Amino acid sequence: MRDIFTEIFENQPLDPTESARRSLRPKLRKRFYQRAHVGDGEGFPLLLDGKPVKTPARRALAAPARTLAEMIADEWNAQQDVIDPAGMPLTRLANAVIDAVADAPGPVADEVAKYLGADLVCYRSAAPEGLVARQASAWDPVLAWARDKFGARFVLEQGVMHVGQPGETIAAVRAGIPAEPWKLGAVSSVTTLTGSGLLALALAHGALEPDAVWAAAHVDEDWQMEFWGRDELLLERRAFRFAEFKAADAVLRHGP
């Protein structure tokens, strides 16, 4: 069983555009079970035909809340003739949390804190006026929330030159990074997907709705496409990342 799950979840590119770039066609395993469901016992384990599922590291694939476990089971039941991990973002996030985050939460929180030091919402365009206004509309409320919630004041910069943030600012906001492994894993995922630790934390603390977070993360991309037309490859990649984002948001909403 371990070899099956290692092959399914570790040994292939998940992003379809990355697969195409490498000129690879993912080798997908045939579906070998009739039904996925949630069992009883420690946590809420995933069962396939009554048998417990293990992560690639041979740990029980179990969620800390029944709703999350049922959502994971839904991903498995939605598979058709083959098991496609690209369509199972919550399962992959669960594997990462159980096999990695739970053992080393400190380094994961450190990575989120690094994003705070060069956060997307702190880098503004000087022109055109419309883009400047749109960035301010989407990002200023996030900075205001960080100021009110943590007493943290971030320095803004026009352009892409790095601007250092005060140590006390980073320390204050870092205190808001969740320690619980599932929530920490979700925050880490949202941080890398959006390029913003502040957006991830605003989502985790309920300061912004998911749609507002996702829109704020793509202000620049959307502005460019309004002028230059749709970028289908970019939108394909964004759709894949949005599924990852929704999985992380599900953990934040339904987790412990």
pLDDT band, very low/low/confident/very high, at 162 (cuts 50, 70, 90) = confident
How do the residues of the chain divide into helix, strand and coil, expressed in percent and rounded to 5? Answer: 60, 10, 30
Q: Report d(CA 174, CA 170) in Å as an integer.
A: 6
Q: Which pLDDT does position 170 carry in this prediction?
A: 97
184-240 pLDDT, tens digit each: 999 999 999 999 999 999 999 999 999 999 999 999 999 999 989 999 999 999 999
Residues of the chain within CATH 1.10.3580.10 domain(s) are 105-254
What average pLDDT does the segment 18-34 reach?
70
Q: Which fold would CATH assign to domain 105-254?
A: ATP12-like fold (1.10.3580)
pTM: 0.90
CATH 3.30.2180.10 in the chain: give the residue spans: 2-101
Task: Domain 2-101: give its CATH superfamily.
Answer: ATP12-like (3.30.2180.10)
Amino acid, res. 88: M
Name the nearest CA neighbour of 123 among 163, 151, 84. Answer: 163
Task: Name the 3-class secondary structure at 36.
Answer: strand
